[in-house]
Chain A
């Protein structure tokens, strides 16, 4: 008898501790420890990644993206251009909002009209800038007229969240944060949220899509990496995103944890400033020279050849990346499969520098962020050492994004590295912003701060942005990718990878390239 009594005592104690620590958590609850969260419950407030990721649970978008960022039907079942400047969207029938009302084309129109009125500094208008007006044809048909031919409009609508018209134009962040206006058609109903705090959601049983497994989803915002990892290891959360590379090796050996890895859309690119004069002249033999050596294609090629991308991936990123040869993954719309892998050849780099008139190299300042993407400052410092082997003296400065971005905008840098993610999954977003000649009236080249300008590339990009035919457009963008990459308008280095970790045997997390952690795509293993 005695052992049984003892055991039951232990059980009672265990039960007591579990009750103390576990609280109301049940088996059907998914608690996610995520790095960043939303700034508001209004889906039209901000374009921030954490914002879209969180609000996708509550609100649906007109078009959706699969894990490779290619388009799939969302609240619109289909879309097609009816003429050069009009897109027709067929709205899904039988979709219910969380308050029981039925979704119609009017709600979609209202959502598009609402964005310019309510959006914040991370302005959602970048997704509606091509829209001239909208017209409701019938209950389930919406015509969107665009300012010019807009073949990428469906891509923009991946972020077009739909709210019910009944909330009225006056609803602002406060009404959304309190839950009064936070009514969507998504798989989860909003329960509560506070800035930088937990977001709690309950399953919406009237959801139009697949039936959801998790009854309750809690998104805990834990920005500090060690704190997030500790929360997983102590069992406080069921999964975490953005596992630091340094923890990855030990997690692989840990039997209580499963890991999931995915390629991301983020590529670290080096940008050489090719303007007539540099903001800070380079030095040869300690003396400043007037000329800008980066204007010479041979110098840019030499810098490219001096980069050992495999070492960057294997050593600096601890294996969590891939060598990159263009500004976005090759399988994206408009990516080129013809571009070769970038070779590593220090001797040829030295030879090219000599040919260009810099046998002893030169000294230049190099800037990058240190807190924006995993490994950004480590790659930055490794690059400066790699260039040193080719004879260049590159002073790497890894700065906080708060300092880096304003200075980069002001054009204070001669050479810099920053991450760019092709979040729309197609080329016009990336190449139109980074390599097209800066032109405010056309709205192109907004991030071309390096002064790169190639009329042939510009022509291809402009033509592409007018071409409605998918195959023709794809070919134009492929050509533009190839031209600008051979020019080394920017020098891509590595594509980053991302890791999730979860309690062992509990779930499978899909490898999304946009790194979004979506409860409704996470399937239980049992």
Chain B
């Protein structure tokens, strides 16, 4: 178990190093960040003094080693643009993204899996056909467009919900969250639903495919023969057996939702991490880019680790294999 964990940790370190190199080389290839950041009316002398101050005059490998040296001391550096420690900057945006991503995943899971099982259980029913039709829309219509439609419908025409932004936040579990008040929640509904749509479609399809396959298996027939009620058959045998692929996809999707909710965040003006990273890229704010991507790598490794643990819980065969 501990060996497994250490192996994962080493993997993460390797990916972090490779990725930070990529960012350094990438930014270097685009040009000098100073030329993007500087005021157009600045003189040449000012430009040179700034280049020196930020160390852009040093060769790339020297800049990289200075960065890595600081990193080993736990210092990720300061944003060029805000002169604030980058981790503070990113973590100040994390709660907003976290609650958006979790709400979206909850909507997708709580709706998607039951609907998918239903569609697989009664593949010929009209309701199942409708569900499958909706799921195709879910992952084929672009997010930004659905987002705009949602805004036009629910915010501009009906005026039921706000068009964007984050409502008032309250302190919950040490984080500033908007789920603590009705108004905060009303701000969360549209973006969370918009972000959930794609995953909803995906989970419906996965659950349905799994259910169709499992329903014709021997153990379902035996369970029925044993006289178990249909709900027990579905809830106990079917759900457990279709869970492995669903958990895998859930993990991956959760990671990418956290890291790349940027389209939804932009359309709904949600002050999350995705917007921060896009803004940083447009001004070549390298410390923020590196720190953010490092965080994403760590997140993915963590989520995958948790997913692996859940596998063991779900399927005894995996546990036994691991033990051997």
Contacts and interface: CB of A to CB of B under 8 A. Distances in A.
Contact of A40 (B46, B50, B82, B167): B82
A406 B41 contact: no
Interface in B147-173: 148, 151-152, 155-156, 159-165, 167-168
Given A123-B42, A196-B279, A21 B162 contact: yes
Please indicate which of the listed interface residues B42, B80, B159, B267 has the most CB atoms of chain A within 10 Å of its own CB: B42
Please tell me the size bucket of the interface on A. 35 or more
A347 interface: no
Interface in A120-152: 120-123, 125-126, 129
Contacts of A198: 165
Given A222-B164, A402-B281, A406-B32, A234 B156 contact: yes
B175 to A, nearest CB: 14
B36 A406 contact: yes
Interface in B72-110: 80-84, 89, 92
Contacts of A234: 151, 155-156, 159, 162-163
Nearest to A418: B40
B186 A20 contact: yes
A443 B163 contact: no
A228 B164 CA distance: 9
A227 B269 contact: yes
B50 to A, nearest CB: 6
Contact of B163 (A23, A195, A231, A400): A231
Interface in B125-184: 148, 151-152, 155-156, 159-165, 167-168, 182-183
Interface residues of B, number: 54
B299 to A, nearest CB: 21
Contacts of B40: 420, 433, 447
A165 B54 CA distance: 28
B42 A446 contact: yes
A121 B80 contact: yes
Contacts of B268: 227
A386 to B, nearest CB: 27
B267 A227 contact: yes
B2 interface: no
A1 interface: no
B276 to A, nearest CB: 7
Nearest to B272: A196
A518 to B, nearest CB: 21
Given A172-B83, A222-B269, 18 more contacts: A20-B183, A21-B162, A23-B167, A23-B168, A121-B34, A121-B54, A126-B39, A126-B41, A173-B83, A194-B271, A220-B165, A228-B269, A230-B151, A230-B163, A231-B164, A235-B159, A409-B31, A440-B43
